Chains A and B, each alone.
Chain A
Amino acid sequence: MKSPTAWALALILALFPTIASFAQESSPAPLEVRSYEKGDQLISLSAGTTIPLFTFGGNAATTDPKLYTGGSFSLGYQYFLTHGLAVGGSLATSFNKTYGGRDFFMAPLSVRAAYWWSLKYFDLSVAVELGGYLSKVSTETMMGPFAKAGGGIYWRINNDWSLGFQTFYWLVPEIHSGDYADLTRFGNILEASIFAAFHL
């Protein structure tokens, strides 16, 4: 039986040639690219893995999150306000198996602020996102605030497409109040994913 990590890698490998070949068909040779300027827009897709790091808070007796590495997928949009500075948002999903064999699902929805640098055929980006998430395990659901920060390096295939690799640190607070304050936890997850963006 394949592990969640194996499935995530298979998904990335499946997506990679599709995106690359589509880009090459429309633009056979790399062009000299320009920096992102005011008014530029990106629509992006990413797929990768989510690696649970640790969970703390409340009456937790351990920091072991007891989750296996899983898969993630996200859809995003960014609008450049000025040279290099973009705002936007993303809707992501992640799936992880728990130690006990249950399925942990999470869907963060967040707004993004990012800064981009363009160096020849490559772009570098750092970003922070703030928002909320919906999580589910068994039949139980939970909502809470969400934050992530990270960045990546992207190859500008042409002026229409970029393809790269990014990592983000996710902070996932699960807040409980009153008599159940002991159930409060702060999930900490690392996302590593392949990113493809179309330049509008």
Chain B
Amino acid sequence: MNLKRNLRLSVLLLAVVGLAACNNSYGVFSSIQEESKNTSTSTFYQTLVPDLVVYGSNYYARLVGIYSRPTSSAAASGWEYLDESSFGSDYVCRGMAVTSAGLYVAISNGRGATSTPNGIYLLNGGTWNKVYSATENIQALYAAHDVLFVVTMDTTSDSGSTYSLRYLSGTLTATEITGVSAIPTNVVYFSVNSSFYCASGTKLYSANPGPTGFSTVVTAPSVKITRLATDAVPDTDSATALFIGSSTGYVYRSVNGTTWPESKLATYSTSYGVVSMTAVPWKADGSGRALLVGSSYVGYYEADVTSGLGSFTTGDSSNIVAAESNYDSSLGNMPVMSFVYSGTTTSGVLFACASAMAVDYTGLWSNKRSSNAWASGWASE
């Protein structure tokens, strides 16, 4: 009798302990279903993808060369190497950007010491045309307010390199950002004061109306600026705020491009800076904006920037564009080099270009927004 009673008590005790350990707010199967499958057969497995652009009915991702897939194909399917004979068989893509004129790519040939500038090509109407024969060492292309900006490396030596920001108008025309020792950041257009913004080192520059006439914004925070962004969602929105990302992980917000009253930390430690920054639509009616900030450490941080600069939390705790287990099994393991959102406030596709060279993951991920909700999470490309 004692044995039976003890057995019953033990089973009861086990059940109570087991139930107490359960968490009704956490779904074991549902969290597993939100995970991303990492595939070692991906084109982008263990690669660094610097950026991606959307043009026409295709996505174009940049590795050393260019890969494209139709926008209509599913994630991870249909990626093909862009084998354009006019680029040369040993081409290296140094930058990509899209304006209303088409898709621009900067091409050089050969690797390392044998690398030689080729030029800037434009895809429009299905045909590639060389629109500029480069002698400059092009480092990046940026499109802002339908202007194509070009970052060039002008000199290099043991003591460092110098860079310039130019823009394409038949030829490469110089701006006032010339001979700077820190490579210029991306260029953004802030519609509130109709100005272009770019930064180099600790200096923030603006130009109104641009694309020349850049001058130093003396009221900018005294930090090393690594990235710029606005809260405009591409194709559908006007900006109301301008953001500065810094090498210490601090993000600053301005509504006029002159004063920067708000700053928040978006990093694990001030040793790790901001490498990417993009606003995406948020909330059930599409009225909200969230700022995604890629960290040079791993993963990204998210904050509500709908009407101010909210506090940043990591992607696995804020869960704005992906659930915790989905984030942990994808971008939580590598730095995100750039975010690219294509779509409206209601629906679209968000790409994250990452550095997966040191981890067993793919370097390109996509996430879908549909019916005003981020529901699918990150999927490996």
Known: A61-B376, A141-B18, A141-B23. A99 touches B31 (CB 8 A): no
Which of B18, B33, B36 has a CB less than 8 Å from the CB of A185? B33
CA distance A13 to B62 in the complex (A): 48
Q: Beta-carbon contacts of A89-109 to B below 8 Å, as 1s and 0s? A: 000000000111110100000
A28, CB-defined interface residue at 8 Å: no
For A100, list chain B residues within 8 Å (CB). Answer: 32, 35-38, 325-326, 328-330
Chain A, 54-76, CB within 8 A of any chain B CB? 55, 58-62, 64-67
User: Can you name 17 A-B residue pairings with CB atoms under 8 Å?
Assistant: A58-B27, A59-B30, A60-B33, A65-B29, A66-B33, A100-B325, A101-B38, A136-B28, A137-B28, A140-B26, A140-B28, A141-B18, A141-B28, A143-B22, A183-B25, A185-B29, A185-B33
- Say how far A177's CB is from chain B's closest CB, in angstroms: 7
B174, CB-defined interface residue at 8 Å: no
For A178, list chain B residues within 8 Å (CB). Answer: 24
Q: Beta-carbon contacts of A114-126 to B below 8 Å, as 1s and 0s? A: 0000000000000
Q: Beta-carbon contacts of B355-381 to A below 8 Å, as 1s and 0s? A: 000000000000000000001100000
Which residue numbers of B lie inside 8 Å of A, CB to CB?
A: 15, 18-19, 21-33, 35-38, 325-326, 328-330, 375-376
| 8 other A-B residue contacts (CB within 8 Å) besides A142-B28, A143-B19 | A55-B29, A98-B32, A99-B35, A102-B35, A102-B329, A140-B28, A183-B25, A183-B26
Inter-chain contact B32/A141, CB cutoff 8 Å: no
Q: Beta-carbon contacts of A160-199 to B below 8 Å, as 1s and 0s? A: 0000000000001010111010111101000000000000
A134, CB-defined interface residue at 8 Å: yes
Chain A to chain B: the 7 pairs with minimum beta-carbon distance, closest first: A100-B329, A183-B27, A100-B35, A185-B29, A99-B37, A141-B21, A99-B35
Q: Which of the listed residues A55, A172, A185 has the most CB atoms from chain B within 10 Å of its own CB?
A: A185
Inter-chain contact B36/A99, CB cutoff 8 Å: yes
CB-CB nearest in chain B for A175: B24
Inter-chain contact A99/B28, CB cutoff 8 Å: no
CA distance A66 to B29 in the complex (A): 9
Which of A101, A134, A182 has a CB less than 8 Å from the CB of B18? A134
CA distance A136 to B21 in the complex (A): 10
CA distance A98 to B376 in the complex (A): 17
Inter-chain contact A135/B329, CB cutoff 8 Å: no
- Say how far B167's CB is from chain A's closest CB, in angstroms: 44
CA distance A143 to B261 in the complex (A): 50
Inter-chain contact B24/A176, CB cutoff 8 Å: yes
Inter-chain contact A185/B329, CB cutoff 8 Å: no
Which residue numbers of A lie inside 8 Å of B, CB to CB?
A: 55, 58-62, 64-67, 98-102, 104, 134-138, 140-143, 172, 174, 176-178, 180, 182-185, 187
For A99, list chain B residues within 8 Å (CB). Answer: 32, 35-38, 329
Inter-chain contact B25/A137, CB cutoff 8 Å: no
CB-CB nearest in chain A for B330: A100
Inter-chain contact B30/A60, CB cutoff 8 Å: yes
CB-CB nearest in chain A for B25: A180
CB-CB nearest in chain A for B39: A99
- Say how far B284's CB is from chain A's closest CB, in angstroms: 15
Inter-chain contact A137/B24, CB cutoff 8 Å: no
Q: Which of the listed residues B29, B32, B38 has the most CB atoms from chain A within 10 Å of its own CB?
A: B29
CA distance A84 to B86 in the complex (A): 79
Inter-chain contact total with CB atoms closer than 8 Å: 96
CB-CB nearest in chain B for A101: B329
For A187, list chain B residues within 8 Å (CB). Answer: 29
CB-CB nearest in chain B for A59: B30
CA distance A182 to B24 in the complex (A): 11
For A64, list chain B residues within 8 Å (CB). Answer: 33
For B36, list chain A residues within 8 Å (CB). Answer: 99-100
For A182, list chain B residues within 8 Å (CB). Answer: 30
- Say how far B41's CB is from chain A's closest CB, in angstroms: 14
For B37, list chain A residues within 8 Å (CB). Answer: 66, 99-100
Q: Which of the listed residues B15, B19, B24, B36 has the most CB atoms from chain A within 10 Å of its own CB?
A: B24
Inter-chain contact B27/A185, CB cutoff 8 Å: yes
Which of B24, B29, B375 has a CB less than 8 Å from the CB of A61? B375
Q: Which of the listed residues A59, A99, A136, A176 has the most CB atoms from chain B within 10 Å of its own CB?
A: A99
CB-CB nearest in chain B for A58: B30
CA distance A188 to B30 in the complex (A): 13
CA distance A178 to B36 in the complex (A): 28
CA distance A104 to B35 in the complex (A): 13
Q: Which of the listed residues B22, B31, B32 has the most CB atoms from chain A within 10 Å of its own CB?
A: B32
For B19, list chain A residues within 8 Å (CB). Answer: 143
Known: A99-B38, A135-B28, A180-B27. A141 touches B33 (CB 8 A): no
Inter-chain contact A174/B29, CB cutoff 8 Å: yes
CA distance A173 to B21 in the complex (A): 17
Inter-chain contact A66/B35, CB cutoff 8 Å: yes
CA distance A142 to B27 in the complex (A): 8
CA distance A58 to B37 in the complex (A): 21
- Say how far A100's CB is from chain B's closest CB, in angstroms: 3
For A177, list chain B residues within 8 Å (CB). Answer: 24
Inter-chain contact B31/A140, CB cutoff 8 Å: yes
CA distance A163 to B325 in the complex (A): 41
Inter-chain contact B376/A141, CB cutoff 8 Å: no
Inter-chain contact B33/A65, CB cutoff 8 Å: yes
CA distance A99 to B38 in the complex (A): 7
